[in-house]
Structure 1
Amino acid sequence: MKKTLLTIDEPEPRKVMRADRPPTEGFVTVVDGHFKSEFDTVEAAETAGRKLKTAYPMLQIEIYDAANKARTLLS
């Protein structure tokens, strides 16, 4: 008698952001000095940052460019 082989679908490995290491690609919103959301384009990161800034004007929000390792302050 043959037993059926059960297979479990393995989930895709998650892309985990570590707080102690800056990202290596893409653009990231930096809220009060902490890396938050990661985006593929600078426009998407700026849009998300501006939404946060309008909702919470007291926050200091920057866009981090991982390729150039530079931060740009949103005003």
Structure 2
Amino acid sequence: MKRPVRSVDKPEQNAPRADRPPRAGFVLVVDGHFKSEFDTLEAAESSGRKMKSAYPMLQIEIYDAVTKVRTLLS
């Protein structure tokens, strides 16, 4: 059984890509890698603080896709 060939010119619209930052919303950046996307800053901060309390050694940032600014969660 052959797999369908996907074109690079027409990527799937719903598939998130790890090598491209999102264009809207807020994203948790864990040790330099994009992880979870959120609609609001409060939801991203809440999730980041839960992760930071469970794993204090991680460097967690919140990326604002509109302004393209990363804020370190302390």
TM-score tier, shorter chain, comes to 0.7 to 0.9
Query: TM-score by structure 2 length?
Result: 0.81
1:1-75 → structure 2 map (5 Å cutoff) = 15-75=14-74
Using the aligned pairs only, state the percent identity: 75
The structure number with the bigger radius of gyration is: 1
Instruction: Tell me how far apart the structure 2 counterparts of residues 39 and 15 of structure 1 sit (CA, whole Å).
Output: 15
Greater than 3 Å deviation, 4+ residue runs: none
Instruction: Tell me how far apart the structure 1 counterparts of residues 31 and 73 of structure 2 sit (CA, whole Å).
Output: 12
Unaligned runs of 5+ in 2: 1-11
Give aligned pairs, total. 63
In structure 2, what residue type is equivalent to 1:33?
G
Aligned residue in 1 for 2:8: none
Query: TM-score by structure 1 length?
Result: 0.79
Note the aligned Cα RMSD (angstroms).
1.4
Unaligned runs of 5+ in 1: 1-12
